[in-house]
Amino acid sequence: MKVGIIGNNLTCLALAKALVNKEIFVDIFYKDKKINIDKTRTIGISKSNIDYFNKNISNIKKISWPIRKIKIYSENSDNKEIIKFENQRENLFSIVENYKIFDQLDTELKNNKFFKYKNTIRYKDLDNIDCDLLINCDQKHEITKKFFLKKFEKKYESTAYSTVIDHKVLSPNDIAMQIFTKKGPLAFLPISKKKTSVVYSVKTNKSDDADDVKNSIMKFNLNYQIKKINKVSKFNLSSLNLRKYYKNKVLAFGDILHKLHPLAGQGFNMTLRDIKNLLEIVNNRVDLGLPLDQSVCSEFQKRVKSNNLIFSEGINFIYESFNFENKIKGNFIDRSVKLIGKNKLMNKYLKKIADEGLQI
């Protein structure tokens, strides 16, 4: 059995590694070997997902940084803490730098006999591709434009800025912080004792630039003695959910299926849950001696589409709630969140959703 994957991003490599670990042949079809990974970008991976990643994809314990607490603040409440999540027994999630996990997966795949990199394919070549199943993770590929344009999409009219700050050693530096500022959510995500990743999602304003972002970091910094703020990168923000997940034996995957606002750090976690579900379907087929064909795509869509859509809309609701409160200059949401945080049962339930996603 052979699976083809279109694209050469982190999702592609993680999915490919999960499949070759099951001794399924995988070809990745890519356009260009030279991939420049932004070294300011990080991903947060929940406890259950990082356990799954370490066991079923690749052991990334050495390159991940554990987070034991999450503290959320609001500028509307004078930068006071409005909710806190923590677990005394284990980590809540881990932060991994994108380029490190990409390099590790790339190296492991190149040394695997079940894996090959191949030149990109065209839409006209689909019928001649020697693959039982084709998974498309490339948003810019012509197959995406042919098959996967119908979607629910929301443009936030916001820009995300990311950077890494160097600071004096802070031990253990295991607290992630998010401040809901009047311009948008600002997250501090530790990656070592002396480095912390920062992501700032700002409502689009032509006057905003890297210096404005750096000034905001200094203004809302509550925990660090900053030595240096490194290069600031930026990207536009939107959310989407694809209407139909597949066409014939071609399955859309990763950011083509769904995109989220980064305020909850759940984008890659949703993709990892998708990988887990897809692998379960593939394993069942292999165990029963059944082919990997269009029915895999159909079953995958039935399993995950509803949960993904509801989860995405939940993130949208959180963003819009704080956004609306900023517009009216109120603090009703802040007070409500404080009450939820004090309720141990609700706090535990929210941590479970963030860790495992929706289970409907």
Query: In this structure, is residue 264 part of a structural domain?
Result: yes
Query: In this structure, is residue 185 part of a structural domain?
Result: no
Confidence of residue 107 (pLDDT cuts 50, 70, 90): very high
| Average pLDDT score over residue span 79-92 | 85
Q: When comparing pLDDT for 93 and 265, which is higher?
A: 93
Q: HEC string of the chain?
A: CEEEEECCCHHHHHHHHHHHCCCCEEEEEECCCCCCCCCCCEEEEEHHHHHHHHHHCCCCHHHEEEECEEEEEEHHHCCEEEEEEECCCCCCEEEEEHHHHHHHHHHHHHCCCCEEEEECCCHHHHHHCCCCEEEECCCCCHHHHHHCCCEEEEEEEEEEEEEEEEECCCCCCCEEEEEECCCCEEEEEECCCCEEEEEEEEECCCCCCHHHHHHHHHHHCCCCCEEEECCCEEEEEEEEEECCCEECCEEECHHHCEECCHHHCCHHHHHHHHHHHHHHHHHHHHHHCCCCCHHHHHHHHHHHHHHHHHHHHHHHHHHHHHHHHHHHCCCHHHHHHHHHHHCHHHHHHHHHHHHHCCCC
Lowest mean pLDDT among 23-32, 261-270, 302-311: 261-270
- Smallest CA-to-CA distance from 40 within 169, 189, 186, 226 is with 189
Query: In this structure, is residue 176 part of a structural domain?
Result: no
**What pLDDT is stored for residue 330 in this prediction?**
63
pLDDT of 335 > 70? The answer is no
Question: In this structure, which amino acid lies at residue 107?
Answer: T
Domain count, the chain: 1
CB contact at 8 A, 134 and 250: yes
Share of the chain above pLDDT 70, in %: 91
**pLDDT, the chain, mean:** 89
pLDDT of 329 > 90? The answer is no
**What pLDDT is stored for residue 354 in this prediction?**
73
CA distance 102 to 109: 11
pLDDT of 207 > 60? The answer is no
Backbone phi and psi for residue 341, each to the nearest 5 degrees, phi listed first? -65, -30
**What pLDDT is stored for residue 8 in this prediction?**
92
CATH code where residue 100 lies: 3.50.50.60
Confidence of residue 353 (pLDDT cuts 50, 70, 90): confident
pLDDT of 136 > 90? The answer is yes
Strand order through the sheet with 64-67: 42-46, 93-97, 64-67
- Smallest CA-to-CA distance from 64 within 56, 74, 53, 72 is with 53
Query: In this structure, is residue 13 part of a structural domain?
Result: yes
The parent domain of residue 104 ranges over 2-154+238-356
pLDDT of 360 > 60? The answer is no
CB contact at 8 A, 149 and 141: no
Share of the chain above pLDDT 90, in %: 66
Confidence of residue 332 (pLDDT cuts 50, 70, 90): low
Lowest mean pLDDT among 126-135, 217-226, 351-360: 351-360
Query: In this structure, is residue 337 part of a structural domain?
Result: yes
Query: In this structure, is residue 164 part of a structural domain?
Result: no
**What pLDDT is stored for residue 208 in this prediction?**
63
**What pLDDT is stored for residue 318 in this prediction?**
78
Span 243-263, pLDDT tens digits: 999 999 999 999 999 999 887
Query: In this structure, is residue 208 part of a structural domain?
Result: no
Query: In this structure, is residue 99 part of a structural domain?
Result: yes
